[in-house]
Amino acid sequence: MSGAAAAPTSFSFARAGAMAVVRARRLLRTRRLLLAAVMAILPWLAVGDVPLVVRLGALTQFTIVGLTVLGAGAIAEDLDGGPYAIAFTHSCSALEAMAGEAATTLLLTTGLAVAQLPFVLRHDTLVDIGIILMCSASLATLLVGWLAVMLLAATVARGVGNAIAMIPLLTVVPVLAGTDVLEPLPASLAVPLRTLAQLLPTPQLASEVYRWILQGGEAPRAAIAVLLLSPVVWFTVAAAHLRRLEPAARIAA
Partner 1 sequence: MTQPLRAVAITKRYRAGFGSFVSSVEALRGLDLEAEQGELVGLLGPNGAGKSTFLLCAAGLLRPDGGTLSWFGEQRGPLGRPHGVAYVPERSLYHRFLTVREALEFYATLHELPGRERAARVSAALERVGMTEHATKRVSQLSRGMVQRLGVAQAIIGRPRLVLLDETLSGLDPLGVREIRELLVELREEGVTIVLSSHDLISLEHLATRIVVIKDGRTHGTLDPRVLTGARTLVLEVDSPSLAARLVQTRWPGARVEGERLHIPLVAGASQEEIVAHCRSLGVAVHSSSVRRDDLEQRFFDLIERPARVAEGCT
Q: Is 91 in the site for partner 1 (CB under 8 A)?
A: yes
Alpha helix segments (H runs only) across the chain: 13-29, 32-41, 52-71, 76-81, 83-89, 94-121, 129-156, 161-164, 166-177, 187-199, 203-215, 221-244, 249-252
Q: Is 243 in the site for partner 1 (CB under 8 A)?
A: yes
Task: Find the binding residues for partner 1 in span 92-111 (CB under 8 A).
Answer: 92-93
Task: Find the binding residues for partner 1 in span 199-218 (CB under 8 A).
Answer: none
DSSP letter at 172 equals: H
Closer to partner 1 at the Cβ: 2 or 125?
A: 2
Q: Which of 35, 85, 181, 229 binds partner 1 (CB under 8 A)?
A: 85
Closer to partner 1 at the Cβ: 120 or 239?
A: 239
Separation CA 226–CA 228 (nearest Å)? 5
Separation CA 22–CA 88 (nearest Å)? 15
Separation CA 105–CA 23 (nearest Å)? 8
Within 10 Å of residue 191's Cβ, how many Cβ atoms? 12
Closer to partner 1 at the Cβ: 19 or 223?
A: 19
Q: Is 242 in the site for partner 1 (CB under 8 A)?
A: no
Shortest distance in whole angstroms from residue 2 CB to partner 1: 6
Binding site for partner 1 (CB under 8 A): 1-8, 12, 14-15, 17-18, 21-22, 25-26, 29-30, 81-83, 85-93, 243-244, 246-249, 251-253
